[in-house]
Amino acid sequence: MAATTPRSPISPLHCQIKNPNHNPFFTLKLLKRRRKIPLHACSSSESNNQKTRAIELQKLIEDSPYEFNSRDSPASLPRPLTSAQLSNLASEGSRLRVAYQGVRGAYSESAAEKAYPNCEAVPCEQFDTAFEAVERWLVDRAVLPIENSLGGSIHRNYDLLLRHRLHIVGEVKLAIRHCLLANHGIKVEDLKRVLSHPQALAQCENTLTKLGLVREAVDDTAGAAKHVAFHKLKDAGAVASMTAAKIYGLDVLAQDIQDDSDNVTRFLMLAREPIIPGTDKPFKVPDILSPSTYSFILSFMYQTSVVFSLDEGPGMLFKALAVFAMRNINLTKIESRPLQKRALQTPDDSATVFPKYFPYLFYVDFEASMADERAQNALGHLKEFATFMRVLGSYPADNGLP
């Protein structure tokens, strides 16, 4: 097996938001201190409402922990959308600004464009930055990975779902197809090492071992491709997407190098406002279908995500899961995460230093809409004995091909 070395020092990649009217861009990044940015006054031809929105945006920028750097005037910055504007986006054909983690060419960018085909994809340096950008009205949505069919759950985003108050409004599944990339004129036998995200390297373990390449972990796949291209490396390649190869001008030495072709990542679509599932039928249903049959059909169209915690005791988790089983609600995912910043302790003569047990949160996805009476009853039942519970979202399931 080839050796693995520590991460390569790749410079921070801040979130770049394109200006739709100019070629220059401005950079969004976290600040340790706040900075006031003046906003030009509206012209005399603009309405009072536009002036009011400009003043509101000025206040938002002053209160924001982000810094805007622009080569253009501050008045050219894209304005945050109001709730009223968001409700009309679909009918007006407006472009949503959608945050994703990584740089251009990342699989997350492809997922964002699949989720919102006409969106303006906004790259962010970290998952936290994407959450914050939505909360601060700097973007309208975020599309972030939550689990992979080979690598498992992305625990960081489970923790961030609880820390922030965003809502899951959809999901999208993306097939992951890894390629081995290198600069022009470089052959496979010239390579000594390969850069990529740790999960991507793990998913190509067999191929990379056969090639005898030393693996170096970096923050993301597209970032690895960018690093190889920018530094014109001759002894190093990158594991990334075909899209990244086109963006950064790299040659594709090998395609589909993942060990398992069934490599799919599930992404969550996040927004400030939840979807409120209606009780009306979303499509015309023949009268011969009973309400229970229709509810069963609807369960394949929608799913709901919740998080809860329980008291310690025999059978408590069994009792929690039984509220779904007794109502014939199928669970599609269950994940446990430590309940941070608190450890329950029980007096015990034999253990005076460490807690007897640690509290956990349970994240559960199930096939049912919150408009479904079964789901309402199940969560009502769960709430009777759960120490904490929150509905993270009720949204259309992605049952199509990735």
What positions carry a catalytic annotation? Answer: 265, 267
Are the C-beta atoms of residues 241 and 177 closer than 8 Å to each other? yes
Cα–Cα distance for residue pair 217/219, rounded to 1 Å: 7
Supply the DSSP symbol for 231: T
Are the C-beta atoms of residues 237 and 192 closer than 8 Å to each other? no
| Closest C-alpha among 363, 367, 364 to residue 395 | 367
Cα–Cα distance for residue pair 368/212, rounded to 1 Å: 48
- Number of residues that this document lists for the chain: 402
What residues contact 213, with CB distance under 8 A and at least 6 apart? Answer: 2, 191, 192, 193, 194, 237
Q: What is the CA radius of gyration of the chain?
A: 24
186 to 8, 197, 228, 322: CA distances (angstroms):
20, 21, 12, 58
Strand ranges across the sheet with 236-240: 4-5, 214-217, 193-196, 236-240, 179-182, 251-255
